[in-house]
């Protein structure tokens, strides 16, 4: 079983506030889901080799400059707290 502290640590990394009850449920759910993921340990070793081969042959695409339409006002308009053309946030420090 995943510990309470571990769930709380992961939630903090994800910037997600969880209630006591949610942490408890998450411990249970996450444990059974991670147990299920152990199935992958059975996967043949050839997977690693295959993946490395494929990554070696990866083709990169060119950087493209895409001109976007002028929707700056709409994008700023969606923010809950703003002043003129700025999005307002709480003090960081």
Q: Which residue among 5, 20, 44, 57 contacts other proteins (CB under 8 A)?
A: 44
Which listed residue (5, 14, 56, 85) binds other proteins by CB under 8 A? 14
Does the footprint of other proteins cover residue 43 (CB under 8 A)? yes
Decide if residue 89 touches other proteins (CB under 8 A): yes
Q: Helices in 38-86 by DSSP H: which ranges?
A: 46-56, 72-77
Residues that contact other proteins, how many (by CB under 8 A): 50
CB 7 within 8 A of CB 27: yes
Q: How far apart are CA 85 and CA 75, in angstroms?
A: 10
């Amino acid at each position: 079983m995943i510990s309470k502290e571990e769930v709380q640590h992961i939630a903090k990394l994800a910037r997600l506030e969880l209630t006591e009850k949610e942490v408890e449920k998450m411990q249970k759910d996450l444990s059974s889901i991670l147990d299920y993921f152990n199935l992958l340990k059975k996967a043949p070793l050839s997977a690693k080799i295959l993946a490395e081969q494929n990554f070696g042959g990866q083709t990169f695409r060119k950087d493209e400059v895409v001109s976007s339409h002028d929707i700056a006002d709409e994008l700023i308009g969606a923010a809950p707290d703003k002043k003129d053309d700025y999005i307002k946030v709480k003090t960081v420090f």
